[in-house]
Amino acid sequence: MRLVRVATCNLNQWSLDFAGNLERICCSIARAREAGARYRLGPELEVSGYGCEDHFLEPDTFVHSWEVIAEIIARGYTDDILVDLGAPVLHRHVAYNCRVLLLNRRILLIRPKLALADDGNYRESRWFTAWPANGRRALEKYPLPDCVRQVAAGAQAETLFGEALLDIGGVVVASETCEELFTPDAPHIRYSLNGCDIIGNGSGSHHNLRKLNQRIDLLRSATAKGGGAYLYANQQGCDGGRLYYDGCALICINGEIVAQASQFSIADEVEVITATIDLDEITAYRIAIASRGVQAASTAPVPRIDAAGRSVSLRHEDIAGRIDGMPTGCAFSPAFIGDASQRAVPASVDPSERSFRLVLSDGEQLQYMPSQPVPVRLLSAEEEIAYGPACWLWDYLRRSGASGFFLPLSGGADSSATATIVASMCRLVAVEAQQRNDHVIREARRILGLGTDAELTENAADAYIPRDAHEFASRILHTAYMRSENSSRATRERAAQLAKEIGAYHLDLPIDAVVAAVLSVFTLVAGERPRFRVQGGSAVENAALQNIQARIRMVLSYLFAQLLPWARGHGQRTLLVLGSANVDEALRGYLTKYDASSADINPIGGISKHDLRRFLLWAVHELGFETLQQVVEAPPTAELEPITGEYVQTDEADMGMTYAELTVYGRLRKIGRCGPVSMYERLSRLWKAHLSPSQVAEKVKFFFRMYSVNRHKMTVLTPSVHCENYSPEDNRFDLRPFLYNIRWPWQFRQIDALTSKVATAASERDALPSERDCHANLAQIAGASP
């Protein structure tokens, strides 16, 4: 048996927080080492934080990253453990997204990312350049910065830069970075065919509802077809932007998951998982796959670096093989061709340096059993909604300097869902606090301004510890029902009841006097008094009278968020205003620009109405908030128009479409990449059973008209945690113009032409003999009456 102990992790890094990132990395290495691991993998760009974005255009970011790496070396964190770090690196004035592999105070290799992530939320090629894959560019010398030379073993002056495998005493290790796993020609296939035993993938991969499955399938297939061990590390939490990175570090051996870290957790900023790999099992697995043998025998070699001894050198046979098998036009840098002694990196060797083995010694082997498959934990979409945005909110709150949240709570589904997500966050905090999680308790105290870290040691007898979710919510969450003359008693009571169930500090405040005051200014100046439609007013008057109520709520929300902590005697602290517009409303533009849907952050802005309803029903049972049952059963309404005997305002009637239809449009527009014409073509087939082609045409045209009329609202959409692939969020995810020709003349004409073509075809079909006619003919021939 040849056993190797390995570790990977979830890290809660924060972009540009070099000091914090350094400590979390060191902590993860220490934990890996304590668990007996000799290889530690970390997330993508963990040194700087993944989400630095345009800060990757600043040389400072690269310099600070090297300073952090030097500090890791100097503190001895690379002694006796292979450390695979994610960091941005400049090479010959080009920025690369890299893995930096360190061992015993030496940098063995800098391995740049080969396939950058550039779709959806990702824009890596704005900051980085992809390294040409597959040996199209040779390994090159990389001169190390002074800060690293000063602390590296033997004052190492340079290392290798490029794509290579590390051979550590016969155990072969390679790095792959995030998106590369998702590509059709993934590097791990070549590495595996080259006999690589362990592949580490450092990722910065965001949460999306129902996505984890895909990641796990990719990992399994990476090792099921060709054998081997695959480690996956990920960022966990909010690192300063709209994404929640959902951790879930994994270890997979020969197609089976043997270790899985948490997907949603606030418990710790560092979570390390380990596994014991039996290398002989990998060999046995591979030998048995004859077809793999055939492909492995003819695969182009990937350069190997002999990294176990005292110096770093390229293996002669690998270089020779590589050159022989290389397509014309590709060549290694001359520095590495020729005599083996010339190829070794000329680093003088620290005499204290020990030789290193990844494989455990005979004595150590007795301590560990090879890791066995574990059942994979996959959550339902409802659970993902309960925990993903809740964990994002926690990171956001504790890093923002605010002391809680203010939420305009209408008693409708959306703001109730926002309140419920905050309650879920409070529950996560309370559970950790009751288990005496020091880190969470300190963060809770800091948020609430209950003393500094130094004053509030764990032992202080009277120091605050969140007792339960209800108690913590009473300090963190402030809700307000802001009633107007159009509000109903039912929504008012539901808001109050839900706030009580959650424990929120709830207010009930009238806004009519403020609305009347604003309107009186208008009337005074303009000399006209607008009326609602039910009172005989025009559409424009009707909309203006609704919008002023909605906007006054926003103004009051900010006032209360600023002053409530002061009014409650909680000092000079402020609250973050929460918004509650869902993905479907945003898509249709069914919201008032700069009303209470505009806020500081919005936990549900990436979630569809359909999923939110399912989540609320889940919360009735799982969180015990019974009021949510009534919330779900009530028809969604804005309550901005007067209710009369004949008229009650509802969202779906107002919007001219149902939420279910909106989800279909949303998916086709974004995920299906449909313009108006192809959406019409798809829907005229999909909805054929209950709608005529001209009805479908009207619906599609109406959707595109409303979408384009309101697209400008997406430019000021409250930042929300990304959860849904059809989000219309304009700033990072769904980049589109916001001034459209809302008549879509070219496209709509084609839809009309297609509709009339279908109608003509149908009437021609009607003219053709039908099955019924055939039966009649047959019956006539047979002499029977039809």
Ligand X SMILES: NC(=O)CC[C@H](N)C(=O)O
Ligand Y SMILES: Nc1ncnc2c1ncn2[C@@H]1O[C@H](COP(=O)(O)OP(=O)(O)OP(=O)(O)O)[C@@H](O)[C@H]1O
> Catalytic residue positions?
44, 113, 178, 410
Using CB under 6 A as the binding rule, whether residue 503 contacts ligand X is answered as: no
**Does 682 engage in binding with ligand DND (CB under 6 A)?**
no
DSSP 8-class letter at 586: H
Q: Please tell me what DSSP assigns to residue 12.
A: -
Residues 2-41 vs ligand X: string with x where CB under 6 A? ----------------------------------------
CA nearest to 48, candidates 97, 12, 88? 88
- Shortest reach from residue 506's CB to ligand Y, in Å: 11
Smallest gap, in angstroms, from Cβ of residue 579 to ligand DND?
A: 11
Tokens of 782: 């047979």
First to last CA, the chain: 83
Shortest spacing between CB 617 and ligand DND, in angstroms: 21
Number of Cβ within 10 Å of residue 126's Cβ equals 12
**Which of residues 18, 66, 472, 590 is near ligand DND by CB under 6 A?**
590
Q: Which partner in ligand X, ligand Y, ligand DND, none is near 487 (CB below 5 to 8 A by kind)?
A: ligand Y
Binder among 154, 202, 204, 388 for ligand X (CB under 6 A): 204
DSSP letter, residue 354: P
Q: Is 604 in the site for ligand DND (CB under 6 A)?
A: no
Mark residues 397-436: x for contact with ligand Y by CB under 6 A, - for none.
-----------xxx-xxxx---------------------
Phi, psi of 200 (to 5 degrees): -110, 130
Binding mask 444-473 for ligand Y (x = CB under 6 A): ------------------------------
Residue 770, CB-side half-sphere exposure with 13 Å CA sphere: 7
Contact between residue 447 and residue 398 where contact means Cβ atoms under 8 Å apart: yes
Question: SS3 for 519-563, per residue?
Answer: HHHHHHHHCCCCCCHHHCCCHHHHHHHHHHHHHHHHHHHHHHHHH
Name which of 228 and 636 has its Cβ closer to ligand DND.
Answer: 636
Query: Minimum Å distance from CB 589 to ligand DND?
Result: 6
d(CA 626, CA 418): 16
Judged by CB under 6 A, does residue 684 bind ligand Y? no
Q: Which is nearer to ligand Y, 262 or 582 (CB)?
A: 582
72 in contact with ligand X (CB under 6 A): no
Site for ligand DND in 618-647 (CB under 6 A): 638, 640
Q: Which of residues 561-600 bind ligand Y (CB under 6 A)?
A: 580-581, 585, 591, 595-597
Q: Site for ligand X (CB under 6 A): which residue of 71, 84, 179, 641?
A: 179
Q: What is the DSSP string of 442-491?
A: HHHHHHHT---TTT--TT-TT-----SHHHHHHHHEEEEEEE-TT--HHH
**CB-based closest residue to ligand Y:** 412
Site for ligand DND in 539-558 (CB under 6 A): 543, 546-547, 550
By the rule CB under 6 A, 486 interacts with ligand Y: no
Residue from the set 69, 98, 193, 482 that interacts with ligand Y by CB under 6 A: 482
- 397 CA to centre of own chain: 18
Q: CB-wise, 44 or 584, nearer to ligand Y?
A: 584
Binding flag, residue 586, ligand DND (CB under 6 A): no
Q: Which residues of 606-619 are buried (b: 16+ CB within 10 A; e: fewer)?
A: bbbbbbbbbbbbbb
Interface segment toward ligand DND; rule CB under 6 A; list 148-156, 385-393, 590-598, 624-632: 590-598
* Cα gap 449→467, rounded to integer Å: 17
Instruction: Evaluate whether 21 touches 61 at the Cβ level (below 8 Å).
Output: no
- Looking at residue 498, what DSSP letter applies? H
Q: Which of 524, 567, 739, 782 binds ligand DND (CB under 6 A)?
A: 739
Judged by CB under 6 A, the chain residues 706 through 725 that form the site for ligand DND are 712
| Both structure tokens of 423 | 């309650």
* Beta bridge mates, 305: 166, 314
Q: Establish if 720 lies at the interface with ligand X (CB under 6 A).
A: no
Neighbours of 489 (CB within 10 A): 9
Nearest alpha carbon to residue 237 among 271, 213, 211: 271
Least gap, CB of 593 to ligand DND (angstroms): 4
732 binds ligand X per the rule CB under 6 A:
no
| 558 makes contact with ligand X (CB under 6 A) | no
State the Cα–Cα distance between residues 110 and 186, nearest whole angstrom. 19
Residue 122 binding: pick among ligand X, ligand Y, ligand DND, none (C-beta 5-8 Å cut-off by kind): ligand X
Q: Is residue 687 near ligand X by the rule CB under 6 A? A: no
Three-state DSSP at 15 gives coil
> Which of 469, 638, 655, 706 is close enough to bind ligand Y by CB under 6 A?
638
54 vs 626 by CB, closer to ligand X = 54
Q: Which helix (H) or strand (E) holds 84?
A: strand 82-91
Q: How far apart are CA 120 and CA 46, in angstroms?
A: 21
Contact residues: ligand X, CB under 6 A: 44, 117, 122, 178-179, 182, 203-206
Summarize as ranges the residues that interact with ligand Y (CB under 6 A): 408-410, 412-415, 480-483, 487, 550, 553, 580-581, 585, 591, 595-597, 636, 638
